Amino acid sequence: MDANAAKLLGAGLAAIGMGIAALGVGNVFAAFLEGALRNPGAADGQQGRLFIGFAGAELLGLLAFVTMIILVFVA
């Protein structure tokens, strides 16, 4: 296979990772809302943890993006 074509294919495959990270971020907020609606009194105290979970899930999607950018522009 042509090296350039392989690079672009790899970048496209890396984009799948961003989609899956989107599922993860959705999952974080869905679980938070589910819990928060059952016990609204405890919800405000957990917002810090919500954003830590969000940041963790988002970071993995962003790493897929970095892989993509490196494949297209650097490698």
Partner 1 sequence: MTYVTNGNLAVAAEGGKIDPMHQFLIEPVLGRPWIVGGYDLSFTNSALWMVITLVALWLFMLGGMKRELVPSRWQAAVEGFTGFVQNMLISNVGPEGKRFVPYVFSLFMFILFANVLGLMPVGIVPGWHPFTITSHLTVTGVLAIISFSIVLIVGFGKHGFHFFSLFVPHGTPLPMIPLIFVVELLSFLVRPFSLGLRLFVAMTAGHILLKVLAAFVINGINLGPGYIAIVSLPSFVLMIGITLLELLVAAIQAYVFALLTSVYLNDAVNLH
**Is-contact 61 21, C-beta < 8 A?**
yes
Taking the least distance from each CB to partner 1, the nearer of 1 and 31 is 31
CB atoms within 10 A of CB 73: 8
Place of tokens 């810090």: 48
Identity at 60, one-letter amino acid code: L
* From 9, 31, 33, 66, residue interacting with partner 1 (rule: CB under 8 A): 66
At closest approach, how far in Å is the CB of 71 from partner 1?
14
Using CB under 8 A as the criterion, which residues of the chain lie in contact with partner 1 when the complex forms?
A: 45, 48, 51-52, 54-55, 58-59, 62-63, 65-66, 69, 73
